[in-house]
Amino acid sequence: MAWDSKIKIFNLPLFSFGAQPRGIIAIGWISGGIIAIGQFGYGVITIAQFGIGIISLTQMGAGFIVIGQMAIGLIFAFGQLALGFFSIGGGGFGYYGMAFEKNLGEQFREAYYQFLDNPSPLYWWIVLLALLSIYAFSKRSVISTDMSVLDLFRPKIKNSLEHIRLKALALLTNEKKLLEIAIHDPSLEVRVNALNRMGDIKLLVEFIMGEHPEDLKIIALKKIKNENVLMDIFKGGISDSLRMEIINLMTGQKHLADAAAFLQSSKHKTAAMKKISDQNLLLDIILKETDTSIVKMAMGRFTSKDTISRLAREGVSPQARILALEKIDAGNGELLAGIALNDADNTVRMHAAGRIKDPAVLEKIAMEDRDSGVRIAAVNRIADKNILMKIIHAAGDRSVTDAASQRLEKIRPFYNTYMIEMNCPSCSQPVFLNGPVRNIKCSFCLKAVNIKDSVWKRVLNAEFGVSRTDSLNGLIIEKTMDSASCSGCGEPLETDDIPDQSCTDIPCGSCGKGNHSFPVPGWFTWAGSGNHVFCAARETEDSEIDEKMEPVAISCIRCGGPLEITKDTPRNVKCSYCNTIQYLPDPLWISFHPVKTKKSWTIRFNFKEREKVNKELGRFKK
């Protein structure tokens, strides 16, 4: 806005030119300085159209000594219209004043004689101006162009200017005056500073409980460190936002628990409970809580099994007890049984029954509970066929007996029946896997074939129907959901109740043939819930048959010498007497090496396998 010279005096440029120059000598539109020349000016010596200065030469001006068309001078004014203690002009107004009626020299002389005749007014006037100047100098720190005249006579703390009040506030220690300022000052910044300087708890509480802006109340709250006082405020008639602020400020577990118990708002109660680490305090609150969202939040905070157990037994809200039940280990049968048998709420008893494993407890609930829904929940956990039959005959309630009948059908075993073959790695002739075996002898080349784990994994994971896997020696799997059938006549066998660990022959009800069965081998881990095998070859079966075979004696066709034939004898056998090689006839050879055929065999799974398969089939249909 102005060009300033590099030479400076008292930190002011010696020369300044421009629209708004400031300097020792300032020339421009609106100029200010020791000597100010411009359209508008202010300074010690002012030469301008409109100006203010100690000595002012202007068209319209004011100052101590002023010469202009319109002049107002505290000591001397000269102009067409002049107002001053000494005034000379066309319209001169002043104690020593006169109009332009004589020549200028005579007017000055006459004014001088007036002064000599009565000099006291001028002396007193000069003394008054000096006193005013001294007073203004003493107020230099508060004097501003923005302030009112009355500010010169007010305490700094009541000045109309904010920055002056802030400076005065920094020296104020009277708590009551600080409170008054915090309540009444028009400036938010001043009120905030006043609150920050306060330390009297009673006065801070008084402010918080009054009708004041929330932001200021929060500042006052943060000044209070005594949590007993904060708790008293918390229970008073304050807003929710202030209560939330108090929750954020408090750390005492007991106070936070009291706050959570006092509140109705789930938002505030949750905020308080999140800060509580004491499990017992948290439990005392949740035992009486009915808000499900709060109970869920608290459940995530509980680490003690005893705490969860107590909530499951004593919670006021049935939903709270149910949420606790879901966290209780299913192995805690005694607790679950106690709740299932004694809780007053049907829904809670139903959920407890749905977690129990003990068949005796489930039977008691299914037979005795007063609510059919609870009884049905217990029935749906029973996997014992005898208990279900007992319920069907003695429960009395039609809905319960129907549920037991449906459960009985549901827990029936699930069967997979297989017919499997693959190529012999040595001779490429078919080898039939007629049971869960790891080694088998090829009927053609008589070499042992090792059945790898990957083959059995593929078998058990095969889809229903016929599948082929060339990478596993042309493995062909035919898999169905048929139950076990007689290996003689093909009629279904009664196998549901065969004990898992038994090894027995199951007589066919049609042809009477015995069909052997045995538990799923321990190494057959891929069977999952499979528990028994029917009509299948066992791994030791070949060796057992071999052990039972007796040697057969024949005569050499040439010399008549005796030859002893066993299972290990090659088909082209050499006579030890005449060295004649002779070919063993088919009947004899087949008696030692019977031709194996592909047969079906079955694995029984428990009912959970059916649920798994049904889910898979449901997903496939979708």
Secondary structure of residue 299 in the 3-state scheme: helix
Rounded to the nearest 5 percent, the helix, strand and coil shares of the chain are 40, 25, 35
Secondary structure of residue 326 in the 3-state scheme: helix
Closest CA to 436 of 348, 531, 354, 366: 531
Sign of CA dihedral 171, 172, 178, 181: negative
Tokens of 69: 């068309």
Residue 173 has pLDDT above 50, yes or no: yes
Q: Left (φ > 0), alpha (ψ -120 to 50) or beta: where does 432 sit?
A: beta
Residue 530 has pLDDT above 60, yes or no: yes
pLDDT digits (tens, 9 = 90+) for 304-332: 888 888 888 888 888 888 888 888 887 78
Helix (H) or strand (E) holding 262: helix 253-262
Residue 550 has pLDDT above 90, yes or no: no
Provide the CB-side half-sphere exposure for 202 (13 A, CA): 2
Give pLDDT, residue 617. 46
In the numeric block, the tokens 């004898």 are attached to 569
Give pLDDT, residue 70. 87
Q: Which residues contact 243 (CB under 8 A, 6 or more apart)?
A: 234, 259, 263, 268
Other beta carbons within 10 angstroms of residue 388's beta carbon come to: 26
User: Contact 340/356 with Cβ under 8 angstroms?
Assistant: yes
Radius of gyration, alpha carbons of the chain: 56
Binned at pLDDT 50, 70 and 90, residue 619 comes out as very low
Helices (H), 395-440: 398-410
Give pLDDT, residue 610. 64
Closest CA to 355 of 397, 309, 415: 309
Provide the CB-side half-sphere exposure for 569 (13 A, CA): 26
Residue 367 has pLDDT above 60, yes or no: yes
User: Contact 555/562 with Cβ under 8 angstroms?
Assistant: yes
Task: Tell me the pairing of strands 96-99 and 22-93.
Answer: parallel
Binned at pLDDT 50, 70 and 90, residue 90 comes out as low
Can you tell me the distance from the alpha carbon of 311 to that of 575, in angstroms, rounded to the nearest whole number?
90
Tokens of 600: 């079906």
pTM over 0.85: no
Which amino acid, one-letter code, is at 325?
Answer: L
Which amino acid, one-letter code, is at 580?
Answer: T
Which amino acid, one-letter code, is at 292?
Answer: T
Can you tell me the distance from the alpha carbon of 395 to that of 375, in angstroms, rounded to the nearest whole number?
9
Helices (H), 414-462: 453-461
Q: Comparing 195 with 126, which gets the higher pLDDT?
A: 195
Give pLDDT, residue 68. 86
Give pLDDT, residue 547. 57
Give pLDDT, residue 354. 86
Q: Region 392-420: what's the mean pLDDT?
A: 87
Q: What is the mean pLDDT of the chain?
A: 83
Q: Region 424-435: what's the mean pLDDT?
A: 90
Q: Region 560-581: what's the mean pLDDT?
A: 82
Report the DSSP beta bridge partners of residue 179: none
